[in-house]
């Protein structure tokens, strides 16, 4: 199984929430989109990060690299994020509609036409799913990477959003809509249910299905919703019931107000990039709201922000740089896998790894962890952006936004670094940008400032169908009537 996906989809034990303000349930059912006014530094960051996607995404096939400037394969999830960024760029005046349309159609055609099959090489996917990593030239499976259910989901979510946004009469926009739906409809979600009512994380042609399922609270919600909503290969709604059946293992009030815990912040961001969970509730959330007052998955992510900020303030492991204004742990690059004595204390560091409060914390901060939370806590996220720039400046903030991660504790290294370099006066700083971490910055800032992605996806019939079949009611779903059911 691919190490990155295992780390992102595994439980990270640790911490619950402590209120840092504003996490009551009042007004959740009447949540209004935030005004489009935004701090100029937030706007600048969003544009610089958007420019990274335009700089690195190939014009001939639409593939976005997993990382850059280090030479790499393509990440299909990053491609989905790029497809989501293009319309945002049009609405912000950073790209013409014509260029966005051309880039989008090129990408969707390429994926539609990629060969699929059970072979280990020479194909881009199987059963409608795509491999996690693809060769940047051919689009074929890279190495022995897995056929990934979640990365396929994020790719297709970007396509479905593009299909909603490109709603004009132009022949190319009609083609975008047709091909996006065709790619989605050929995914055999039911094939990936190999254990009762659980969707597998992936499959290898050499060894079969990965022995892990989407079965704890994490970033996998969107996988289940698009699988349940499929008009051609749906999984039963019982898959959602099974998913929720283990929530009691994640629900904790150990450190303050209770929430569904998942350590790396991506678990509280990724599905929320495309699904507007404000004011809509499944059976579990309706029961929880009856118990504690109005509560939903969006508010759960608000509390996750409070957890990460509180953890940074408490800083139980004594890492340099953590504070109420510099916070956020997630799956990201790190210095390498080694131990080193610093100030008389042995410290353990990791390379690419999932990090979370109370678990696998090595002092590495990833800006995407906080910045991708903009809709949940805009004031706190803006303060974090400003603090990181003020403290570390050009060492971490460049023409393409923030480098992936940094570690102020590791200020010297005699041995090998797997990534990045030591910057005097700052500490370890990564040398790459990761598409998986750049995307949430652009998309979530836009959701927070204009509702742009959520607004289109509230009318996306496949997602709406999945939400309704999974038992979600109330809020904006109640205003849709039977459409998309």
| DSSP class per residue in 228-268 | HT-SSSPPPTHHHHHHHTTHHHHEE-TTSS-EE--SSGGGG
Beta bridge partners of 428: 407, 422
Percent share of the chain, pLDDT over 70: 91
User: pTM here?
Assistant: 0.92
In a domain, 484, yes or no: no
φ, ψ (nearest 5 deg) of residue 141: -50, 135
Single out the residue of 429, 385, 438, 388 nearest to residue 410, CA to CA.
Answer: 429
CA gap 468, 465 in Å, rounded: 5
What pLDDT sits at residue 184?
98
In a domain, 485, yes or no: no
pLDDT class for 185, splitting at 50, 70, 90? very high
Helical ranges in 229-362 per DSSP H:
238-244, 247-250, 283-292, 297-314
How is residue 384 annotated by DSSP? H
In a domain, 138, yes or no: yes
CA gap 381, 197 in Å, rounded: 37
In a domain, 41, yes or no: yes
In a domain, 284, yes or no: yes
With the C-alpha atoms ordered 366, 441, 420, 79, is the resulting torsion angle positive or negative?
positive
| pLDDT tens profile 211-234 | 999 999 999 999 999 999 999 999
Token pair, residue 133, equals: 């990593």
> What's the number of domains the chain is made of?
1
255 Cα distance to chain centroid: 25
Beta strands in 83-126 (DSSP E): 125-126
Token pair, residue 255, equals: 């450190």
The average pLDDT across 290-302 equals 97
Does pLDDT of 382 surpass 70?
yes
In a domain, 314, yes or no: yes
For residue 342, the surrounding DSSP H or E stretch is strand 338-342
219 Cα distance to chain centroid: 7
8 Å CB contact between 5 and 151: yes
CA distances from 36 to 32, 42, 91, 92, 378 (A): 12, 12, 12, 11, 12
8 Å CB contact between 264 and 355: yes
The average pLDDT across 356-378 equals 95
Beta bridge partners of 398: 401
What pLDDT sits at residue 279?
97
Helical ranges in 361-460 per DSSP H:
367-371, 378-392, 435-450, 452-457
CA gap 28, 256 in Å, rounded: 20
What pLDDT sits at residue 1?
36
Cβ contacts of residue 198 below 8 Å, gap of 6+?
Answer: 213, 214, 215, 239, 242
CATH number of the domain within which 230 lies = 1.50.10.140
In a domain, 343, yes or no: yes
Percent share of the chain, pLDDT over 90: 88
pLDDT class for 255, splitting at 50, 70, 90? low
pLDDT class for 27, splitting at 50, 70, 90? very low
CA gap 251, 245 in Å, rounded: 11
Single out the residue of 34, 27, 25, 78 nearest to residue 377, CA to CA.
Answer: 34
For the chain, the average pLDDT equals 92
Does pLDDT of 248 surpass 60?
yes
| pLDDT tens profile 51-82 | 999 999 999 999 999 999 999 999 999 999 99
Does pLDDT of 34 surpass 50?
no
CA gap 443, 154 in Å, rounded: 13
Given the structure tokens 């004009």, which residue do they identify? 168
The average pLDDT across 20-28 equals 34
Give the HSE-up count for residue 108: Cα atoms under 13 Å, Cβ half-sphere: 30
8 Å CB contact between 246 and 200: no
8 Å CB contact between 70 and 432: yes
The average pLDDT across 76-98 equals 98
Q: Which residues constitute the domain of residue 125?
A: 3-478
Does pLDDT of 300 surpass 60?
yes
CA dihedral angle for residue 299, residue 470, residue 287, residue 477, rounded to 10 degrees: 60
Does pLDDT of 9 surpass 60?
no
CA gap 265, 332 in Å, rounded: 11
Hey, how many other C-beta atoms are within 10 angstroms of the C-beta on 71? 8
The average pLDDT across 289-304 equals 97
Helical ranges in 315-434 per DSSP H:
367-371, 378-392
φ, ψ (nearest 5 deg) of residue 204: -120, 135
Token pair, residue 381, equals: 């996220």
In a domain, 44, yes or no: yes
Does pLDDT of 144 surpass 50?
yes
Given the structure tokens 């065709």, which residue do they identify? 182
What pLDDT sits at residue 16?
29
């Amino acid at each position: 199984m691919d190490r990155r996906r295992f780390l992102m989809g595994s439980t990270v034990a640790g911490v619950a929430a402590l209120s840092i303000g504003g996490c009551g349930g009042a007004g959740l059912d009447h949540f209004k989109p935030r005004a489009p006014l935004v701090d100029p530094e937030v706007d600048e960051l969003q544009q610089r990060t958007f420019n990274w996607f335009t700089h690195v995404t190939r014009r001939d096939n639409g593939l976005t690299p997993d990382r850059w400037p280090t030479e790499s394969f393509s990440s299909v999830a990053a491609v989905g994020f790029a497809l989501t960024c293009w319309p945002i760029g049009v609405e912000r005046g950073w790209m013409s509609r014509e260029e966005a349309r051309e880039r989008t159609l090129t990408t969707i055609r390429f994926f539609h036409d990629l060969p699929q099959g059970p072979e280990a090489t020479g194909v881009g996917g199987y059963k409608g799913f795509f491999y996690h990593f693809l060769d940047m030239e051919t689009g074929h499976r890279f190495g022995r990477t897995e056929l990934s259910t979640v990365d396929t989901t994020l790719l297709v979510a970007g396509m479905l959003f593009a299909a909603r946004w490109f709603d004009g009469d132009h022949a190319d926009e009609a083609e975008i809509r047709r091909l996006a739906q065709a790619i989605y409809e050929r995914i055999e979600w039911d094939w990936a249910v190999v254990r009762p009512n659980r969707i597998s994380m992936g499959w290898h042609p050499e060894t079969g299905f990965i022995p892990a399922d989407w079965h704890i609270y994490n970033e996998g919600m969107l996988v289940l919703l698009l699988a349940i909503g499929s008009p051609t290969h749906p999984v039963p709604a019982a898959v959602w019931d099974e998913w929720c059946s283990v929530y009691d293992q994640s629900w904790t009030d150990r450190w303050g107000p209770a929430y569904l815990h998942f350590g790396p912040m991506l678990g509280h961001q990724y599905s929320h990039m495309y699904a507007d969970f404000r004011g809509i509730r499944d059976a579990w959330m309706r029961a929880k709201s009856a118990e504690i007052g109005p509560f939903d998955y969006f508010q759960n992510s608000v509390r996750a922000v409070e957890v990460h900020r509180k953890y940074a303030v408490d800083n139980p492991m004594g890492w340099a740089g953590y504070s109420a204004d510099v916070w956020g742990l997630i799956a990201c690059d790190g210095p390498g896998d080694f131990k080193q004595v610093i100030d008389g204390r042995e410290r353990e560091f990791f390379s690419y790894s999932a990090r979370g409060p109370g678990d696998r914390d090595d002092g590495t901060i990833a800006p995407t962890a906080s910045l991708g939370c903009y809709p949940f806590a805009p004031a706190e996220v803006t303060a974090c952006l400003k603090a990181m720039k003020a403290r570390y400046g050009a060492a971490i903030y460049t023409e393409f936004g923030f480098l992936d991660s940094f570690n102020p504790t590791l200020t010297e290294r005699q041995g090998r670094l797997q990534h990045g370099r030591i910057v005097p006066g700052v500490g370890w700083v990564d040398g790459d940008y990761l598409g998986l971490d750049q995307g949430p910055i652009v998309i979530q800032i836009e959701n927070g400032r204009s509702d742009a992605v959520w607004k289109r996806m509230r009318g996306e019939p496949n997602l709406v169908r999945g939400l309704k079949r999974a038992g979600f009611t109330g809020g904006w779903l109640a205003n849709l009537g039977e459409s998309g059911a």
